Amino acid sequence: MTDKKLTTNKGIPVSNDQASMTTGEGSSYTLLQDVQLIEKLAHFDRERIPERVVHAKGAGAHGYFEVTNDLSKYTRAKFLSEVGKKTEIFSRMSTVGGEKGSADSKRDPRGFAVKFYTEEGNYDLVGNNIPIFFIRDAIKFPDFIHTQKRHPTTNLADADMFWDFLSLTPESVHQATFLFTDRGTPRDYRHMDGFSSHTYMWYNEKEEYVWVKYHFKTAQGNETFTSEESILMAGENPDHATEDLYNEIENGNYPQWDVYVQIMTNEEAKEYKFDPFDVTKVWYHGDYPLIPLGKMVLNRNPENYFAEVEQAAFAPSNFVPGIGPSPDRLLQGRLFAYEDTQRHRLGPNHHQIPINRAKNAEINNYQRDGPMNVDDNGGSGPNYYPNTQNGPAPDISFKPPAIEVQGVIDKHTRPVEDADFVQVGEFWRRVLNDTDKEHLVNNIVGHLGNAQERIQYRQTSLFYKAEPEYGTSVGEKLGLDMEKVKTLSEMSQEERVKATKM
Ligand code: NDP
């Protein structure tokens, strides 16, 4: 037994927590004046907050980031200023499409989010375990995610929705290919890489800027499940990756990622053979080698899952001086949507929740009030700016570089380009070995085979366009007429869609 006294949530001592206050000893009426009972039930009724619309199932841990290579000539970010510098971090890893109770082993990209508690405020890097994405314009994101969720009528996952959308969105063929390799079913959260996926800006104190992509390479090595293993694991232990991360850290086996960046100058960006800001493409390592930057170590488990993991609010719009956005259209949408989701999920003062609070920087501004304001709300300081009352003032020395832009405002549709298929072909020919290819094809066939035949044709022709051997391997296993696949692959996307309509 404990000396700690049980109290209500107002701190009032409780005399009995096993019986309601009733009118008699046996079956009887319960009194409304049992405020402890009312409080307990009412709080329980409100325990659930909205689950994340994506990345609902996840695990997280505390740790640190340490600089191992001085790249401070490119960025003024203080946490990257010298070798040996350590910054506290919190990282959350997750699946994407599944609900909060879904299986960790499901085929899905994995979220890879890191919050750096720097002395210049919190910096969030919110990426995935795959270096690219299915779409390159944020306006397509809600539709894309709907195709991963449940069918409005059957409430079931639906292969038609999934492949109909992907085959109507050919820029997705690169990531669809990655997803159906065994890297789409990583063994757990420790045995996978992380990527910023997007291109970001780094700038120094002279306002000179470069473009960067981050790569977190797992020091544990990449390990994956086969499709069969992932399906078995979903039944045996749907929480296996959550459990693995927790147990390994508890046992002192701290997972580590070696962090690299690729760096491209603005001049190079204008000339690169692919649009360097298009998130459906990588920068080839041969063109832009990985430059070491640091390491990330996870060495402390959360004490309370809800407080630290569920309430962790990541947003790619949280930059520190020295780091900024790029003209990546998907990123531009995410800069709004993540913070907006946190306002919806946790409220407009979610930055005051301890896991989200800037630990190593002061917060000084003129925002006041709002639901669940739990700090001193600016105390007796002024609540307007400008003022002559000693209130905080902006510092022009933190100004990011000016970027020159010329443009025409329009709804600029980005057409499907031959370049959308080039890297997929390179991936098939140069990176995947025979076993990888066999698994990729079987994994696709096992899923695409559940979609309508006309959709199978449309999607397979995209694989064929990327690399005839790839498309042929998929098409033959699906039992498709390969002449028809080839013909479709040679059509424009418009013609292809017309030829495969209902
Ligand atoms: P490289 O030939 O230099 O390296 C191949 C890359 O592919 C490595 O990063 C490797 O990761 C990764 N890889 C290996 N096997 C798989 C797999 N089964 N599923 C997913 N990724 C795998 O790459 P290039 O830069 O020359 O690009 C060639 C193609 O490789 C690209 O078109 C792209 O499709 C793919 N790729 C490129 C990446 C990049 O950032 N440049 C990153 C990942 C893939 P690891 O070292 O962990 O094995």
- Angle, CA of 153, 450 and 431, to the nearest 5°: 125
State the virtual CA torsion across 420, 257, 299, 324 in degrees, nearest 10: -60
Handedness of CA 418, 419, 424, 425 (dihedral sign): positive
Model confidence at 311: pLDDT above 80 = yes
The DSSP output letter for 137 is S
For 396, residues 6+ apart whose C-beta sits below 8 A from its C-beta are none
Confidence of residue 212 (pLDDT cuts 50, 70, 90): very high
Cα(431) to centroid of ligand 1, in Å? 6
* Structure confidence at residue 2 (pLDDT): 81
> CA 183 to CA 235: how far, in whole Å?
20
Closest by Cα among 60, 58, 71 to 103: 58
> CA 2 to CA 52: how far, in whole Å?
37
Cα(281) to centroid of ligand 1, in Å? 11
Q: What percent of the chain has pLDDT over 90?
A: 99
Q: What percent of the chain has pLDDT over 70?
A: 100
Cα(293) to centroid of ligand 1, in Å? 19
* Structure confidence at residue 330 (pLDDT): 97
> CA 428 to CA 439: how far, in whole Å?
12
Q: Report the relative pairing of strands 291-300 and 58-67 from DSSP bridges.
A: antiparallel
Phi, psi torsion values for 104, nearest 5 degrees? -65, -25
Q: Report the relative pairing of strands 209-218 and 256-265 from DSSP bridges.
A: antiparallel
Closest by Cα among 313, 346, 338, 309 to 59: 309
For ligand 1, what atom is nearest to the CA of residue 426?
32
Domain 21-161+186-356 bears CATH identifier 2.40.180.10:
yes
What mean pLDDT is predicted for residues 46-54?
96
Six-digit token string for 77: 């970010």
Q: Name the burial class of residue 308, with classes exposed (0-12), middle (13-18) and buried (19+) by CB atoms within 10 angstroms of its CB.
A: buried
Model confidence at 481: pLDDT above 80 = yes
Hey, where are the domains in the chain? 21-161+186-356, 419-499
For ligand 1, what atom is nearest to the CA of residue 440?
18
* Structure confidence at residue 171 (pLDDT): 98
**Which of 193, 262, 431, 442 has most ligand 1 atoms within 8 Å of CB, for mutation?**
431
Confidence of residue 42 (pLDDT cuts 50, 70, 90): very high
What tens digit of pLDDT does each residue of 118-175 get? Answer: 999 999 999 999 999 999 999 999 999 999 999 999 999 999 999 999 999 999 999 9
Cα(330) to centroid of ligand 1, in Å? 22
What mean pLDDT is predicted for residues 26-53?
96
Question: 89 pairs with which residues across the strands?
Answer: 63, 116
Tell me what the pLDDT averaged over the chain comes to.
97
> CA 186 to CA 371: how far, in whole Å?
40
Six-digit token string for 471: 């498309």
What mean pLDDT is predicted for residues 354-379?
97
Model confidence at 1: pLDDT above 90 = no
Model confidence at 180: pLDDT above 80 = yes
Exposure string of 463-491, with b = 16+ CB inside 10 Å and e = fewer, is bbbbbbebbbbbbebbebeeeebbbbbee
User: Which of 9, 16, 43, 55 is flagged as catalytic?
Assistant: 55
Q: Which amino acid, residue 194?
A: G
* Structure confidence at residue 13 (pLDDT): 95
Confidence of residue 20 (pLDDT cuts 50, 70, 90): very high
For 196, residues 6+ apart whose C-beta sits below 8 A from its C-beta are 125, 127, 212, 213, 214, 215
> CA 473 to CA 428: how far, in whole Å?
12
Model confidence at 28: pLDDT above 80 = yes
Catalytic site includes residue 174: no
Q: From atom 22 of ligand 1, which residue's Cα is the shortest distance away?
A: 431
CA 276 to chain centre: 20
Cα(285) to centroid of ligand 1, in Å? 8
Confidence of residue 373 (pLDDT cuts 50, 70, 90): very high
* Structure confidence at residue 93 (pLDDT): 98
State the virtual CA torsion across 198, 194, 464, 287 in degrees, nearest 10: 60
Distances from the Cα of 142 to the Cαs of 53, 116, 163, in angstroms? 10, 28, 16
Q: Please, what is the angle between helix 453-466 and helix 159-167, to 10°?
A: 40
For 137, residues 6+ apart whose C-beta sits below 8 A from its C-beta are 329, 330, 333, 414
For ligand 1, what atom is nearest to the CA of residue 224?
18
Six-digit token string for 4: 């700690």
Question: 128 pairs with which residues across the strands?
Answer: 111, 195
Cα(427) to centroid of ligand 1, in Å? 7
* Structure confidence at residue 502 (pLDDT): 85
Closest by Cα among 330, 115, 291, 326 to 209: 326
Q: From atom 24 of ligand 1, which residue's Cα is the shortest distance away?
A: 284
For ligand 1, what atom is nearest to the CA of residue 222?
47
Q: What is the pTM of this model?
A: 0.97
Catalytic site includes residue 390: no
> CB under 6 Å to ligand 1: residues?
131, 178, 181, 183, 193, 222, 282-286, 423, 426-427, 430-432, 436
Cα(501) to centroid of ligand 1, in Å? 35
Tell me the Ramachandran region of residue 114: left when phi exceeds 0, alpha when psi lies from -120 to 50, beta otherwise.
Answer: beta
**Which of 197, 427, 428, 430 has most ligand 1 atoms within 8 Å of CB, for mutation?**
427
> CA 470 to CA 477: how far, in whole Å?
11
Gyration radius (Cα) of the chain, Å: 26
CB 463 within 8 A of CB 471: yes
User: Which of 9, 69, 122, 128 is flagged as catalytic?
Assistant: 128
